[in-house]
Structure formats: C-alpha cells, structure tokens
Amino acid sequence: MAKIRRRTCIILSLFILFVFSLMMGLKMLRPNTATFGAPFGLDLLPELRQQTIHLGKNFDVQKSDRINSETNTKNFKSVEITMKPSKTSELNLEELPPLNYYLHVFYYSWYGNPQFDGKYIHWNHPVLEHWNPRIAKNFPQGRHNPPDDIGSSFYPELGSYSSRDPSVIETHMRQMRSASIGVLALSWYPPDSSDENGQPTDDLVPAILEKAHKYNLKVAFHIEPYNNRDDQNMYKNVKYIIDKYGSHPAFYRYKTRTGNNLPMFYVYDSYITKPEKWANLLTTSGSQSIRNSPYDGLFIALLVEEKHKYDILQSGFDGVYTYFATNGFTYGSSHQNWASLKSFCDKYNLIFIPSVGPGYIDTSIRPWNTQNTRNRISGKYYEVALSAALQALPSLISITSFNEWHEGTQIEKAVPKRTSNTVYLDYRPHKPGLYLELTRKWSEKYSKARLTYASDHQLPVS
C-alpha cells in the first residue's frame, strides 16, 4: 500500500507540474489580457509618453518573471564561444515556392563596422535611460562594445556586419527569397539624414535595388520620422524617391482595385504630425497635394491607439499598418483588435496591413523594459501571430522584422554565442534558419488563402 501511495503521489506531482507548465506557456503565447498595456506600452512611443506618464504607476522590473527565459546572462564565467555560420548551398530558385508580393518585411540598412565604415554603427547602441530618474538609477548606462558585446539579445550568423558589405546585402536577399517574401520595406531617411545612432544610408539604395532585382524581390520605402518632417518636405522627399528610384525594375508598386499601379510608402510614427498637415499633402484639395500627380502613391499610416483611426481618415492616408511585434503593447498591435480594424478599413476603403513578428526583447538597449518581452517559444509566438493575421483576411501582411536586432524581432539567421559577460539567445533546438522556414510555410498558406477571399473582397490578385 505504501508503494501504491508513493507512486500515486509521484504521478499526481508530475501531472500538477505539467498543468502548471502548460498554463505558463499559454500565458506567454497569448498576452492579450495582460494589464501592462497603457502605462508601460505607450510610454515608449514619441508624443504618447507625456500623455501616459501622469498615471504614475510604478513597477518592479527586476521581479518580472516573463523575462527569465529570454534575457542576457551577465557575468557568466566561461570562455568565449561563437558558432560559425552554417554552410549554405546555392539557392535553386526553381525549387522554391513563388514569391508572395503581398508579404512584406521591414528591413534596416543602418549597421556598420570598421572594415566598411571605419567604425561600428548601431551594434554599439547606447543603453537608453528610463525617463524616470528613480528607475533609471537601477540600471547600467553606457554603450555596447562590439564585436562581442552588441546592442542585441541575439547574435547574427553574419556577425557584427556592415550594411555596406555587398556580400551581406546578397545574403540578406537570398534569405528573403528563401522565405518567399516578395517585398522588403526599406527603412529610409532623406540624403544626409539619419537616426540619432546612425549615419546616412540613402546612398545604399541603388545596391539594395540591384541585389533585390537579382532575386526578383521588390523594394518599398519605410519613411522614418526624420527631423522636422512635415507636408512640404514629405512632398520633396517622395518626389526625390520616385524620380531617382522609380524607374528601377525592383521599385515596388501595388495594383489598386481600380487597376492603378502605385508606389507604396509606409510612414513610421505618422501620428506625430497633425492630421491637418497630412491633409495638405494627401487630400485632393490640400495646398501641397500629391494626389493625381506623377508622385501620387499609397501612403500607409502607423496605427497605435484606437483614436488614431479617425486622425488617419482626416489625414487622407490610404491604409494602416501596426508595426509592433508585441501582442498587447498597443491597440494596433493586439491581435484581438485586428478583425475590427479590418472592418473599419473596409468601411472607409483603406488598406489594412497587420504586422506580425517572431517575438520581442529589447533589454539590451532598454534594460528596464522587461514587461514588453515576448518569448519566441520556438516559433509558436510567430505562428500564432501569422494565424491571427490570416484570419483578418488582409490585403497585405507585414513582418517586423528582417533585421531589427536591437528589439529582437529579427527573422534573419542567428547563432549561439557566449562570452565572459554575456550569453546570447538563439533559436535552438532549431537551426539558425528556423524563422525563414516558418515564413516560407506561412507565405504559401497566405497565398492560397488570399486567392479564396480576394474576389469576394475585391482585392487585386496580380
């Protein structure tokens, strides 16, 4: 009897442990109902921070249990280990599924290293201070020190590469092609402009277009919030892009319901500019109107808060995208809101583009932001997002991102790496190409699904 009771206790304990593990896994996979949304999420966004900071909710970031499985381990006493890049065979394009030009991925060309740029750029990203001094004092400051210490929780298979390296551009295009991604949305600043941690990259556009064309990819432009962006200089910059790059065969154009082929421009942080300013550019009666001119296009606004829907309508945008890979971070990035957003867009003839991502972790540059980490769960988080996007029957789907390493949203290949101070995250037990393979799988699913509902929703199919 004692043996039976002991065996029963062991079985019961194992069952309880299994149920607990399952519940924790589901919690990580579906964080829609998490309570961190308003104070923690929107504080990170320009302009919205001041609207939410008065809430005054304190949080103990050091006690967050979500980050335990996805954080850098500091002071790890071991020898440095880096996995070498895997050997890849030549792509046989005939054996790959067709490209899906309704699947876009956000691409960043802001990385640099001493060999090509004379110094490290972006890999040495500073550790950003929290805006609350009481919280900021609990976290380290300074900059990362490449090549072994980079501003990312993962480590690229290509190392701390330069976006100017032709072999890197080639490899990136090959990886996108292998994933059946049809369009890369290139992060873009005007000539002689850049983000505060980078350098101008407009001169890289011709090389990116050429390499993209080699693999039949198309390039759209993701216009960043450069200094003093307004309706007037946006007109000049759109004109510049179309005049300089519009004739290239890799320049992306989207076929509208009326049969027009128009360039597409994603406009990041569009909500910073007042609707009245955008209306000058994006409505036919605007004083700076781009409509019905050689520089007309499809302008896609970033939707963060629900109220932005009506600002977007007033502004004259052609569609919305959600960008953030953190489910529950904003209204727009929450999967549970995509069906209603799609209905809203259908009602007002807007293009709805949900953004999906493989996970999120930015604690290498924002160590106080653990509450917004999303564990990849070996690809399950990504597949849940892709499934949610397909259920919304969207015109297009965007992926955040191909290589935004600082925020841990990349699908680019990553490898295990360990130094004396850091253990980087990786994709094990899977191979470095896991997220490219998953993207290819869901690209095929999306292509088939879109064909079934495109005619019913009057969407273009070619």
Both tokens of residue 437?
Answer: 């393979």
Which residues have C-beta within 8 Å of that of residue 300, sequence separation ≥ 6?
264, 265, 266, 267, 317, 318, 319, 320, 321, 351, 353
DSSP one-letter code for 20: H
Mapped onto helix, strand or coil, the DSSP state of residue 128 is coil
pLDDT score of 21:
57
Both tokens of residue 87?
Answer: 């050997």
pLDDT score of 34:
41
pLDDT score of 130:
94
pLDDT score of 92:
72
What are the φ/ψ torsions at residue 293 (nearest 5 degrees)? -115, 170
| Residue 304 buriedness (CB in 10 A; 0-12 / 13-18 / 19+) | buried
Which residues have C-beta within 8 Å of that of residue 15, sequence separation ≥ 6?
none
| Residue 356 buriedness (CB in 10 A; 0-12 / 13-18 / 19+) | buried
Both tokens of residue 283?
Answer: 């409505």
Query: Which residues of the chain are under the pLDDT cut of 70?
Result: 1-91, 93, 455-462
Torsion of CA 175, 180, 182, 188, to 10 degrees: -30
Helix 380-391 / helix 2-29 crossing angle, nearest 10 deg: 50
What domains, with CATH codes, occur in the chain? 104-456 (3.20.20.80)
Q: Which residues of 82-115 are buried (b: 16+ CB within 10 A; e: fewer)?
A: bbeeeeeeeeeeeeeeebbbbbbbbbbbbbbbee
pLDDT score of 50:
44
pLDDT score of 66:
36
Residue located via tokens 């994933």: 179
DSSP one-letter code for 356: E
Overall pTM surpassing 0.75 (yes/no): yes
Which residues have C-beta within 8 Å of that of residue 222, sequence separation ≥ 6?
106, 107, 185, 186, 187, 188, 265, 266, 268
pLDDT score of 449:
95
pLDDT score of 224:
98
pLDDT score of 47:
59
DSSP one-letter code for 279: H
pLDDT score of 68:
38
Both tokens of residue 53?
Answer: 């900071």
